[in-house]
Structure 1
Amino acid sequence: MKLVRYGKTGQEEPGLIDENGVLRDLSGHVKDINGAALSDAKLARIAALDVEDLHIVDGTPRFGPCVADVGKFMCIGLNYSDHAAETGASIPEHPILFMKATSAIVGPDDTVSLPRGSEKSDWEVELAVVIGKTAKYVSVDDALDHVAGYCIVNDVSERHFQTALSGNWTKGKSCDTFGPIGPWLVTRDEIEDPQNLDMTLDVNGKRMQTGNTKTMIFSVAEIIAHLSTLFTLHPGDVISTGTPPGVGLGMKPNPVFLKSGDVMELHIEGLGTQRQNVVMDT
């Protein structure tokens, strides 16, 4: 299934995209697409509905973040061997974890606003995992059983804030609008192998990132197992699993960064497309 949240910011309704690409309303069956709705049993109940009985949503409403009430927004850094190489970084021994503020979360096509003073804002297309079942001390073999589904995240990053303002990466990762999520949450049964998904990102129509999740250093299952040994993962938690090469920071000989008026377009195989206009905060 492809589960969505549609409507004005803060007033989103739950929905799904049917096999013909038609948006249908789920508000009569679930309150929202959040952790409480993402257990295997509740997803099975949604899947068992007769889609033809669900109201067709008229027009082309805005899509909000495909999961609501995110408890933890976790990100894995330097998790693609080819991306680590372009930045000159060593291959990490363990997954590098940083947190992104949940206040950064916006819809997949919402405007990205560069913060005041930003000169080095960058793009990062990433596969994200949404937890559906509480995970604590899970094995790699069992880890994917705890996944509700997958979606796209643009891990927008202000590199100067990230590396030069002291502290850790969170400063450059958590600016408002720096976490577009969606367009939809694709349930795990539709993704046969999360370690073989093509992904791209364009800026102003120019291809910047081309990659595949097979070059991840740590697989989705390994990430979940590792994090679950450190703290409990709860339904609705989001893990963004890293980016392939082609970020602006890695451009040679001169890095390229986002500016007002730019347009980012992201795509991951089976997970849809995002499109964001870039503006500067006033």
Structure 2
Amino acid sequence: MSRSTFTALTAALALAAATAVASGTPADARPAAGERSEYVPIAPCGLPIVKLKKKRQAVVPVVGRCGVPADAVAVALAIQAKGSTPGALRAWASGSSVPRTPVLAWSAARKAVATQASVALGGGQVTLAGTKGRTRVDADVVGYYRRVPTSHTLAISPWAMVLTGSTTAGYGTTNGCVTNFDNTTTASGSVPLTLPVGSRITSVTASVYDGTSADTYSLNLVRYLPTPTGLTSDSTTPLGSGGAGSIVVTTTTTPVNLLIDAQHTFAITMSNLRNFNNGLCSLQVTYEDPA
């Protein structure tokens, strides 16, 4: 097989690799819980030619070449091999055990064969080994795989809270927490959430300031359903409530299972804010990517 023929085959294999992503990921490079495998195609890029002697191994550095980044866990290779005798070629993550199954085999001496294979990386490298005689290996990188988190935590500044119901509608700061200036009028506040459609809220962590009186507060995650006249409360998930007799900041994580879809908006609401007796210190919302 000529180099020009291999180049054409490489382009075809690159296209095939782009259409068969996760299914081709090596088992030891597949994502763990909370992650997904992302395939990134690249223009075919040649690695150095490898010449193998009988059953000898060759380590080929891949990361840092052809635009393959340090966080890549596997690569898609278009491989051409030709041996001095009938044989086979194995490819695997450097530092791992030798696989029993070869990536390709040939039945005649000096017969060039080609294939596309996804190979896990070990230390940013792959290892190649032939079986009999001498083997020449030409390989192009046509893409790589990396693991991407599916869970994200969004930190929301308490200063984003919109206060209503207060005669001054002012903000105060106590122990670094947002509180209300008004001493007599109960106020409420809300922090709107903007998350990707199709994502799912899994937990909310809130740090709330309890002041020096027994005034109570209520913290909720509220789902609003759009109506012709505006937003109407559809459902509420309690996140916390209280009112301490001493100054304390309480942090609570509440499990949540709410889907963000095109018909709903969400907000964190806090009610019964009075003087410096209650306040919001921090908010973190954890959500999963759309399924």
Q: What interval of TM-score do these two structures reach, taking the shorter chain for normalisation?
A: under 0.3
Structure 1 length-normalised TM: 0.24
- TM-score between the two structures when normalised by the length of structure 2: 0.24
| CA radius of gyration, larger in | 2
